[in-house]
Structure 1
């Protein structure tokens, strides 16, 4: 199997490589520092009994965490320094107590060297039926983004930006994407009793420069924070906030919006998939959950790994985005389904 994996990694074939076996053992056949991105959703503890058993059926949740962390550390070994690891995992109850399994796993992984860059909240929009009468329904799951190094990892944020509205000129005045003209800011500068005359002059000049950048398409939008009119956007402490220091020294600062659009937040509204015709596999792991992570953190022609591939959703998305992929599952029946979906 190791030779087969190495041949695939070095080859040009973009059809997914699907391998049947225990994730921990199969991962050992993958060379160090060879994978660009890992996107996966392992079986949750005591939720479903998948074909051929495997992780998730442990009697104690502590054993489940230990087993999952061992697999994640193998992912750490095979991932390139430029790579990313995306882990979607749901929680479980025991004796009516929510166990916080996703966060226990995340903390253990960071203690072992992983760097957690984001916790995405997957809002499933429509939850399953919940008949409990003494708690609220569960409608979200976390998706953790881990990296091996604190800078230098591949991250193409421009690929997933929301397309912005354009700036325009109305009656000779520059108007930003959300209708900001600068008139109100000029008036606030003029009437300020806090700014010195020098600060007012600098503020006028800086505002005119920003409006020129809007007109030229270098910015799509902006906000101006002026001393005495608005508070700083994070903290008023000059020790903690560079913006607070800038506001105190200059009397103003700008919030600039990228002309390529805004990047998504860490809350994603994605409806779970439940009608893929996938037979006996019930995990509602949607293609849309994979798209942003793969686009963001795997270069074109890179390799995506899913050690719990199930019916192949991660590999299907990777293939559609012109990325190579390796999928592993303990159930040969699921590998067969994955092959059919990827043809």
Structure 2
């Protein structure tokens, strides 16, 4: 069970960079947990990101494999599924995505994102891309690279079984994450399915190939009434709209009382399923956002001249796409290597552009 998370603000720290700075792209190195709390209130129009998935890759980070034992040893009344605060977790050598249990991972991811809630404008949006994982008591952690690709070094670790954590079980991590966000008052507007037609083969012979990920669209829940947020339907993929048109006169009705389903016309196409090939990574990062997946999200959910935040920006793909689309962009990255790559890619992108960003209040 994910504990209710309260916003914690560091009153003594001074922000290194903010959404009001003039630079079209800002890339900051550090933990998103800290950097999110430094953002000015209501300064972000769109938060879009693909955080680390649970139990797949280490991204070169060192993780304390004894952390579960340490957590339980501190208090005899604790049980495995009691989720430690993220600050305790990282202080004891924990890394997001390498939690000993998926329950911990979901709790920490929600806690980090909640730290940025105050920075998101009331009419802002949050798009979170997240994939699922199969449970194995002895799991394989890639030091880098996708599962099933190349000769990337990997290590084995034992993961405790119990509850829904059973051998060969699809853990439904995206669904559990989305429900945890709903419990914190976020409104889930879409569960966009990213269909990946070129996923690498797997050796399993008793299940279908896992060829999709989830892209959740959250908006803030207002104090009263329905959620209202910026959304430009003209910028989404063709066929993704869900719009009904009526012509009552042509239908022969004297009163506007036809059945909803009698005279609807919707665009043919993928609707909330988007097919985009997995792209090769860049600068040593194997999980780079495909442009075709994120550009419609940026164009539709962030107004021109607005600010896009990616708190797990990797090598900066979302930042350059935002800037090239006439938006400001802020990225956070924990890895020094990927931060350097994101800064380089941002500089190269800006060098090829003449940006005229409107002033925003």
TM over 0.5: yes
C-alpha distance in structure 1 between counterparts of 2:113 and 2:100, whole Å: 20
Give unpaired runs (5+ residues) of structure 1.
164-201, 208-223, 227-242
C-alpha distance in structure 2 between counterparts of 1:291 and 1:70, whole Å: 27
Aligned to 2:184: 112
Is 1:121 matched up with 2:193?
A: yes
Q: CA RMSD in A?
A: 2.7
Aligned length: 260
Aligned to 2:38: 29
Aligned to 1:270: 276
C-alpha distance in structure 2 between counterparts of 1:127 and 1:3, whole Å: 40
Aligned to 1:79: 120
C-alpha distance in structure 1 between counterparts of 2:215 and 2:177, whole Å: 12
Pick from 320, 335, 339 the counterpart of residue 316 of structure 1: 320
Is 1:11 matched up with 2:21?
A: yes
5 Å matches for 1:213-228?
Answer: none
Is the CA contact 1:2–1:30 (under 8 Å) kept in the aligned structure 2? no
Aligned to 1:255: 264
3-state SS of paired residue (2:286): coil
Aligned to 1:64: 105
Aligned to 1:307: 311
Give unpaired runs (5+ residues) of structure 2.
1-12, 63-94, 136-166, 240-246, 348-361
Greater Cα shift, 316-325 or 51-60: 51-60
Following TM superposition, the consecutive aligned residue runs of length 4 or more in structure 1 with deviations greater than 6 angstroms are 261-264
Is the CA contact 2:282–2:315 (under 8 Å) kept in the aligned structure 1? no
C-alpha distance in structure 1 between counterparts of 2:261 and 2:51, whole Å: 49
| Aligned-residue offset at 1:290 | 1.1
Is 1:97 matched up with 2:97?
A: no
Superimposed CA distance per residue, residues 192-244 of structure 1 (whole angstroms, 9 cap, x where no aligned partner): xxxxxxxxxx97xx11xxxxxxxxxxxxxxxx699xxxxxxxxxxxxxxxx9x
| Aligned-residue offset at 1:325 | 0.8
Is the CA contact 1:33–1:80 (under 8 Å) kept in the aligned structure 2? yes
Aligned to 2:330: 326
C-alpha distance in structure 2 between counterparts of 1:263 and 1:81, whole Å: 31
**Closer, same or farther: CA 117–13 of 1 in aligned 2, 3 Å:** same
**Closer, same or farther: CA 17–263 of 1 in aligned 2, 3 Å:** farther
Is the CA contact 1:225–1:252 (under 8 Å) kept in the aligned structure 2? no
Greater Cα shift, 154-163 or 68-77: 154-163
Aligned to 1:175: none
**Closer, same or farther: CA 285–256 of 1 in aligned 2, 3 Å:** closer
Aligned to 1:166: none
C-alpha distance in structure 1 between counterparts of 2:133 and 2:22, whole Å: 41
C-alpha distance in structure 1 between counterparts of 2:269 and 2:57, whole Å: 35
TM-score, normalised with respect to structure 1: 0.70
Superimposed CA distance per residue, residues 109-152 of structure 1 (whole angstroms, 9 cap, x where no aligned partner): 00111000000000011111211111111000010000004432
Q: Which of the two has greater helix per residue? A: 1
| Aligned-residue offset at 1:25 | 1.1
Is the CA contact 2:282–2:288 (under 8 Å) kept in the aligned structure 1? no
Higher RCO structure, 1 or 2 (CA under 8 Å, sep 6+): 1
| Aligned-residue offset at 1:77 | 2.1
| Aligned-residue offset at 1:23 | 1.0
Pick from 208, 222, 233 the counterpart of residue 136 of structure 1: 208
Superimposed CA distance per residue, residues 42-77 of structure 1 (whole angstroms, 9 cap, x where no aligned partner): 010001111335310111111111100101211322
TM-score, normalised with respect to structure 2: 0.67
Pick from 203, 216, 231 the counterpart of residue 155 of structure 1: 231
